[in-house]
Amino acid sequence: MNDDTVGAYVRVAGYGYHDRPYYSVKREGFTTYLLRLQVEGQAETVIDGRRVPLGVGDILLLAPKQPYELRIGDPSAYQTPVRSADYYIFCDGPWLDAWWRDRCRPRLATIPLDDGMLSLWRQVAWEKRRIGRTDERISDYLLRVLCLFIDRSLDDWQTRLVSPESLAAHRMKRFIEQNIGDELTLQDVADEVGLSVSRAVHLFKETFGCTIVQYIVDVRLKLASDRIRFSAMTLEQAAESAGFRSYSYFYRVFRDRYGVSPKQYRQQMQ
């Protein structure tokens, strides 16, 4: 394939946040590939007639014409608050056809949400939002890199030997990510894996190189920054929905992290 041509087209890309029940079905599938990554809360899909839960780090990989169904919360109880967020990319092109055929692709898999992976999803979505200034070649290569990162993450995750200690640490990490919008205490995290608080704190720091509290703040900041960048939420709503109960505290840690205020950050991203 000639690398000077566009081989992977990003047709639609974005960030979705749902605070009310939601239901979508397309039994005949889409005309493009769909990549969807759950980054907060929970959802549910249907694979081969079975209802399958989607948690943080779960990625849906759908080829054209594969059936699609997504449920968030109970659509019959629309006023019931829920919390779910995801990145999605509808894409096609000859490079993607070759990438898909290269191996047997799972419809659903779990990948670790490291900074490199998440930054690629964000960049693909942001590039597509650059109205009047988009460059299909940039989107093309960003998407190719993302697909290769997905492959590497799947290979690493599936072949890694996981000790009981490492498994417990990853369970704590996933618990934090799934409940990040709620009040979270060290006791809550430790109870999830049946450990004492002191043991849980030590194991988490040993595995991931940061404390549980640091990780909670880090995840909340990333979620809030996504909502400031991609949604029409007010700054206060973005902070609260990400789990910050005090806006003044959010303002301080946000400015420390990004070097600008939340308002300035939004203005820079427009």
The string of pLDDT tens digits covering residues 15-66 is 999 988 999 999 999 999 999 999 998 999 999 889 999 999 999 999 999 9
DSSP, collapsed to helix, strand or coil, labels residue 81 as coil
Residue 3, pLDDT score: 47
CA distance 244 to 267: 21
What's the CA gap between 200 and 211, in Å, rounded? 10
Higher pLDDT, 62 or 134: 62
Q: How far apart are CA 113 and CA 38, in angstroms?
A: 10
State phi, psi for 87 to the nearest 5 degrees: -105, 145
CA–CA dist 37, 154 (Å, integer): 13
Contact 58, 120 (CB under 8 A): no
Question: What is the predicted pLDDT for the residue at 245?
Answer: 92
pTM of the model: 0.78
- Residue 158's pLDDT is 58
Q: Which H or E element spans position 35?
A: strand 33-41
Express each pLDDT in 96-105 by its tens digit. Answer: 999 999 888 8
The secondary structure of residue 75, as a DSSP letter, is T
Closest to 126 (Cα-Cα) out of 268, 234, 263, 23: 268
**Residue 89's beta-bridge partner residues?**
13, 35
Token readout for 150 is: 């997905």
Q: What is the mean pLDDT of residues 135-140?
A: 89
Q: Is the dihedral of CA 107, 110, 114, 115 positive or negative?
A: positive
pLDDT for the residue 61: 96
All structural domains of the chain: 9-159 (2.60.120.280), 164-269 (1.10.10.60)
Q: DSSP label at 53? A: E
What's the pLDDT band for 162 if we cut at 50, 70, 90? low
Tell me which of 261 and 115 has the higher pLDDT: 261
**Percent residues over pLDDT 70 in the chain:** 92
Q: For 174-214, what is the HEC assignment? A: HHHHHCCCCCCCHHHHHHHCCCCHHHHHHHHHHHHCCCHHH
pLDDT at position 100 is 94
